[in-house]
Structure 1
């Protein structure tokens, strides 16, 4: 049987982040559109349908000072939203199982789907953006061509990137990517905008791998 330890670990990591995003975008939607209601209940959050424009606004607000108002919603400031989030979590953290169940069933990979998507431990995964293989990263590290100090904790296996950083973690919006591309793309660039950067990184990896081959031939 193929081993899936890495995929299961990645699944648990991304599922936690995705669920937090799932709740927060719905709280954001509710708070800016229902200023007279103190807080939503779980059933109300579950029923909310979130449009692309709301994800874009949510992402934009993350970059704004707390003293400014939410664009197009002048009745509420960014700082007030932060207080509303905290108040809701303080009261409801222990009562989100119903919301988590809906999230798991309707808005996220099943564990089996995710493991199939990410692949078993034996698979030599590649980065969507720069195409580097995990085996190539290992070879680069062995020959001193990986220089990040974080390589003990990140970089040895492919990470998970949202192609559109302001849309949720869904099957169509998640890509395998190396640590370096994930670190460079962040939430700033769309997948199309990042293509040129990925191609440039491909050339760097190829150049380093060629240097390793040259070193081997000289031994």
Structure 2
């Protein structure tokens, strides 16, 4: 039977981040558009359908100082949003199971789906952007061609990237990618933009692998 311990660990990590994002974007929606309702309950959050432009605005607000108002929503400042988030979590963290069920059923992979997507431990996965294989990363590391100090904790296996960084972690918005592409793409580049960067990274990996093969001869 194929081993899937890596996929299961990745699933737990990504699911936690995805659920936090799922809650936070809905809280953001409520706080900026429903000022008369100071504290949304779980049922209200479940019913929300978040508009695409609010994901973009939510991301922009993370780059702003607390004294500035939310763009296009002058009635609320960034710092006030932070306080509203904290107050809501202080009161509701223990009561989010219904919201988590909706998230799991309608907005995220089941564990079985994710394991099928990510693959068994024996699979030689490749990066969506630079095409490097996990076996090639191992080879590069063994020959001193991996420079990052984080390689003990990241980089040995493929990570999960949101193709569109301003949309949630869903089945259609997740791609396998190496640590280096994930680190470089961040929330800055679209897939079309990053494909060119991925191609350049692929060239560098190929050159390094050729040097290793040349030394072996």
The Cα of 1:37 is off from its aligned counterpart by 1.5
The SS at the match of 1:161 is: strand
The SS at the match of 2:75 is: strand
TM superposition score normalised by structure 1:
0.98
The Cα of 1:34 is off from its aligned counterpart by 1.0
**Whole-angstrom CA distance in 2 between matches of 1:104 and 1:6:** 20
The Cα of 1:11 is off from its aligned counterpart by 0.2
Q: Which runs of 5+ in 2 are unaligned?
A: none
**1:47 maps onto 2:47 in alignment:** yes
* Alignment-derived partner of residue 110 in structure 1: 110
The Cα of 1:196 is off from its aligned counterpart by 1.0
The Cα of 1:87 is off from its aligned counterpart by 0.3
**Whole-angstrom CA distance in 1 between matches of 2:4 and 2:52:** 34
**Whole-angstrom CA distance in 2 between matches of 1:173 and 1:108:** 10
**Whole-angstrom CA distance in 2 between matches of 1:124 and 1:23:** 34
Q: Which runs of 5+ in 1 are unaligned?
A: none
* Alignment-derived partner of residue 130 in structure 2: 130
**Whole-angstrom CA distance in 1 between matches of 2:26 and 2:73:** 16
Return structure 1 stretches of 4+ with deviation > 6 angstroms: none
**Whole-angstrom CA distance in 2 between matches of 1:94 and 1:130:** 42
For residues 7-35 of structure 1, give each alpha carbon's deviation from its aligned partner in whole angstroms, at most 9, with x where no partner exists.
00000000000000000000000000111
The SS at the match of 1:175 is: strand
- CA RMSD after TM alignment: 0.5
State the aligned residue count: 217
* Alignment-derived partner of residue 69 in structure 1: 69
TM superposition score normalised by structure 2:
0.99
**Whole-angstrom CA distance in 2 between matches of 1:51 and 1:122:** 40
